[in-house]
């Protein structure tokens, strides 16, 4: 959530991670779907978009040069300071995380940044017009089509069978979203709603390796091609053993299915 963070510190932290991981770090930055961090760090909610725009501009400047000259409205200027450490990668990947706001898709395309679409509910194909808007904005800005990558971020979990995955993931998922719902006026999550999102067009990537792999491929087709898919498994309140098993299934079973289909 870049709006409530300092871009200098964000870059330093991820550059350190990149060094430790020998060039495997990437950043997904977004405005944030929750607003609690604004008063926590002394920001005004009325600056919601301008904070993000300015901080993204600074983060991209830092990525492009170790010596930075920059000024803005929301933080002190930089006047030739060096930003260290520098990452292993020549250009640390920065994805723009978006929800459902058309302006965010256009911003990503105009800047030529890879797009990470966060879909935590509803049907994935509904986001196709917004993804098309991203690609159109990127083309107008002169960015090569191959650089306009689209990723999908979804809640998900993999187990040996569909039934096992659903039964293990639902209790923690329902608890997490019901707690959030109390703060935001949502009704508690029901099993019927959960099962609906497990369907062929639903957003949840929960099921057996074959089920999840086939759903990822359907989502990719619906959105005009995906370069990356990430699964957020922690809302399920799962054990270390369950998460380890899911990660193994992603690499050993899901990856080969998808690789053979593309």
Q: Do residues 148 and 113 touch, judged by C-beta distance below 8 A?
A: no
The domain ranges of the chain are 2-158+210-235
Assigned fold of 2-158+210-235 = TIM Barrel (3.20.20)
The secondary structure element, H or E, covering residue 255 is helix 255-261
Residue 122: per-residue pLDDT: 80
Name beta bridge partners: 242.
none
The secondary structure element, H or E, covering residue 120 is none
Per-residue pLDDT band at 248 (split at 50, 70, 90): very high
Name beta bridge partners: 12.
none
pLDDT digits (tens, 9 = 90+) for 102-159: 999 999 999 999 999 999 888 889 999 999 999 999 999 999 999 999 999 999 999 9
Closest CA to 231 of 149, 176, 151, 170: 151
pLDDT digits (tens, 9 = 90+) for 192-209: 999 999 988 889 999 999
Alpha carbon 192 to its chain centroid, in Å, reads: 26
Q: List the Cα angle 116/122/125 in 5-degree steps.
A: 60
Residue 12: per-residue pLDDT: 98
In the block, residue with structure tokens 């792999």? 213
Q: Report the distance separating Cα 106 and Cα 130, nearest Å.
A: 8
Q: Report the distance separating Cα 222 and Cα 131, nearest Å.
A: 10
Mean pLDDT confidence for 78-94 = 97
Q: To the nearest whole percent, how much of the chain has pLDDT over 90? A: 79
Residue 160: per-residue pLDDT: 97
Residue 117: per-residue pLDDT: 96
pLDDT digits (tens, 9 = 90+) for 61-70: 999 999 999 9
Dihedral-angle region of residue 237 (phi above 0 means left; psi in -120 to 50 means alpha; beta otherwise): left
Closest CA to 31 of 118, 122, 109: 118
């Amino acid at each position: 959530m870049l709006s409530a963070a300092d871009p200098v510190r964000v870059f330093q932290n991820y550059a350190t991670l990149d060094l430790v991981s020998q060039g495997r770090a990437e950043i997904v930055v977004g405005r944030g779907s929750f607003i609690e961090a604004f008063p926590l760090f002394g920001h005004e909610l009325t600056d919601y978009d301008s904070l993000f725009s300015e901080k993204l501009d600074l983060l991209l400047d830092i990525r492009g040069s170790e010596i930075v000259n920059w000024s803005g409205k929301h933080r002190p200027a930089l006047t030739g300071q060096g930003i260290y450490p520098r990452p292993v990668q020549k250009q640390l990947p920065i994805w723009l995380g978006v929800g459902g706001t058309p302006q965010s898709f256009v911003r990503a395309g105009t800047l030529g940044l890879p797009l990470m679409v966060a879909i935590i509910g509803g049907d994935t194909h509904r986001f196709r017009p917004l993804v098309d808007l991203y690609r159109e904005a990127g083309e107008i800005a002169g960015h090569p089509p191959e650089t306009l990558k689209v990723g999908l971020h979804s809640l998900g979990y993999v187990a040996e069978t569909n039934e096992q995955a659903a039964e293990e993931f639902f209790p923690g998922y329902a608890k997490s979203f019901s707690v959030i719902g109390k703060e935001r006026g949502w009704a508690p999550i029901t099993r019927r709603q959960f099962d609906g999102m497990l369907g062929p067009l639903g957003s949840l990537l929960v099921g057996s390796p074959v089920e999840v792999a086939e759903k990822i491929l359907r989502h990719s087709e619906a959105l005009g091609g995906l370069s990356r898919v990430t699964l957020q498994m922690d809302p399920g309140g799962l054990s270390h053993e369950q998460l380890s098993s899911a990660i193994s299934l992603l690499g050993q079973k899901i990856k080969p299915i998808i690789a053979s289909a593309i």
